[in-house]
Amino acid sequence: MAVKALPLAKTTMLEMYDRMLTIRRFELRVIELFREGVIRGSTHTYIGMEANAVGCCTALRPDDYITSTHRGHGHCIAKGGDVRLMMAELLGKATGYCKGKGGSMHIADLDVGILGANGIVGGGIGIATGAALSAKMRGSGQVCVCFFGEGGINQGTFHENANLASIWKLPVIYFCENNQYAMSMSVKRATAVADIASRAAAYDMPGVNVDGMDVLAVYEATRQAVERARAGEGPSLIVATTYRFEGHNIGDPQPYRSRDEVEEWRKRDAIERFGRFLIDEGIATRAEIEAIHQAVDQKIDEAVEFARQSPEPELSSLEDDVYA
C-alpha cells in the first residue's frame, strides 16, 4: 500500500495545532480579564483568524522577521512570543514585554523576529519593507512578513512600499488578512476591486488568494512566497480570506453585521477543521489532540497567574524608556 505523503512532519503539524489553540485560549482569557476590569484600555482579539498567523509563520525561519498590527496577539504567539510576557504586558505589569507601559498594541520581541505590533493602520508596512532592505543589504537571507488588514491595504503607505520593494526586489511578503470589516466598514464598500490580490499586478509581483480558514493552504502559499523572496526574486502579496468571530474590539456592539453571518463563519472554524483533519488522516489520535488541549490550558493558566502575581511598574520608572 502506498504511504500517503504528509504535507508537513507530524511534529510540525501538532505544533501548528498547539499554536492555533494557544492563540484562541489566550484571547478567550483576555476577554474574561477585560470584563473583570483587570485589563484596561482597548484590545482587539484574533479569534477566528488563527490559521493565518500560524500557517504563515510556520513557513518562516526563527530569524525571519514579521511586523504586526493592532490585532497582533496571534502574530506574536505564532512567531514564538512568550505568552507569560504578553499577558503581563496586557495587565500592565513590570514583567511584561514593554515593562507594562505599552499594552496590547506595542508588543515586540526582537529575539524571535517580531519587529512590533502597531496601533497605526498600515504602520508596519514601511517597517517591514525597511527590514527587508536591511536583510538584502546584509545578505542575511532573511525575509520579512508584513501583516495588515484589508483596511490597511487602502493606506497610501502600502502602494509606495510595494512599488519600491518590487523595484529593489526586496525579500518582503505583504500578507493581507481580509476579515471582511475594517471596524464597521465592509470591504465591499471600501475597496474598489473585488479581488484585492489583483492589486499586485500594479507592482509586478505575484498576488495570491488563499483560504484563511485553512492553515495548510496558508502555509503553502507563504512557503512559495518565501522561496521566491529568498531566491532574490522580490516581494509577493498574499490575501487570506478570513473572519474575526468577535467584535472589532471588546465592547463593539456589531450593528454592521448579522448574527447569521457570524454563525456561518463560525462553522468554518479553522481550529476545529485542522483538528478533524489530523484525526481523519490518521496523523494524530484523539488522545494526542486532547493532550494538546490540556497542555495549552495549563500554559495559559500559568501565564495569567504569572501576570496577576507580577508587580506594577514603579512610579519612579515613569519616564524610563521614553524617547519622545
Which spans of this chain sit near ligand TPP (rule: CB under 6 A)? 70-71, 119-121, 148-152, 179, 181-183, 248
C-alpha separations of 239 from 21, 152, 178, 212, 221 in Å: 23, 12, 7, 8, 10
DSSP alpha helix (H) spans, 59-106: 73-78, 83-90
Pairing of strands 144-149, 207-211: unpaired
Measured from the CB atom, the residue of 151 and 235 that comes closer to ligand TPP is 151
Return the number of the residue (17 or 181) whose C-beta is nearest ligand TPP. Answer: 181
| Rounded (10°) CA dihedral 183, 187, 191, 197 | 120
Whichever of 121 and 304 has its CB closer to ligand TPP, that residue is: 121
Smallest distance, Å, CB 70 to ligand TPP?
5
Cα gap 18→184, rounded to integer Å? 31
Residue placing its CB nearer to ligand TPP in the complex, 178 or 236:
178
What minimum distance in Å lies between the beta carbon of 54 and ligand TPP?
16
CB of 136 to ligand TPP, least distance (A): 27
Q: Quick one: 70 or 228, whose CB is closer to ligand TPP? A: 70
Q: Compute the least distance from the CB of residue 177 to ligand TPP, in Å.
A: 6
Alpha carbon 178 to its chain centroid, in Å, reads 12
Residue 182 or 271: which CB sits closer to ligand TPP?
182
Tell me the sheet residues that pair with 208: 238
**Based on CB atoms, which residue is closest to ligand TPP, 22 or 43?**
43
> For residue 10, what are the contacts with CB-CB under 8 A and spacing of at least 6?
283, 284
Give me the least distance between CB of 49 and ligand TPP, in Å please.
Answer: 8
> Do 196 and 176 contact (CB within 8 A), yes or no?
yes
CB of 245 to ligand TPP, least distance (A): 12
- How far apart are the C-alpha atoms of 221 and 210, rounded to whole Å? 7
- Nearest of 235, 44, 17 to residue 146 by alpha carbon: 235
Residue number with the shortest CB distance to ligand TPP? 149
Interstrand relation of 185-186 and 207-211 (parallel, antiparallel or unpaired): unpaired
Minimal distance in Å, beta carbon 289 to ligand TPP?
29
> How crowded is residue 242: how many other Cβ atoms within 10 Å of its Cβ?
27
Closest contact distance (angstroms) between CB of 62 and ligand TPP is 25
Of 49 and 226, which CB lies nearer to ligand TPP in the complex structure? 49
Q: Is the distance from CB of 242 to CB of 49 less than 8 angstroms?
A: yes
128/64 Cα distance (integer angstroms): 11
Q: Where are the beta strands (DSSP E) in the chain?
A: 65-67, 144-149, 172-178, 181-182, 185-186, 207-211, 236-241
Q: Which three cell numbers stand for residue 109?
A: 520581541
